[in-house]
Amino acid sequence: MSKATRRLTIPLLLVLLLALTTTMASAQGEEPPTVTDLLAAINTGWVLLAAFLVFFMQAGFGFLEAGFVRS
């Protein structure tokens, strides 16, 4: 290996090793989600979906009303 390649390879390997070990270390201490956590996630997703639908319905109604106006 050339000197320039070694200068790049060693720090990249160290960063990769650090990234993998911190991910594994944080994964060991997690508890499984409880039912209330899952319900909160489902409720949040449902509210966001409903908000997106209302947003697009308002835009569609605006286009409908704009189509009724003749100038």
- Residue 2 sits in the same domain as residue 20: yes
- Residue 19 sits in the same domain as residue 48: no
- Residue 41 sits in the same domain as residue 65: yes
- Residue 43 sits in the same domain as residue 70: yes
Predicted pLDDT at 6: 77
- Residue 44 sits in the same domain as residue 68: yes
Domain that holds residue 49: 34-71
What confidence tens digit (pLDDT) does each residue in 8-21 have? Answer: 888 888 888 887 77
**25-41 per-residue burial string, b: 16 or more CB within 10 A, e: under 16:** eeeeeeeeeeeeeeeee
Output 38 or 12, whichever has higher pLDDT: 38
Identify which of 30, 58, 48, 4 has the alpha carbon closest to the alpha carbon of residue 12. 4
The number of domains in the chain is 2
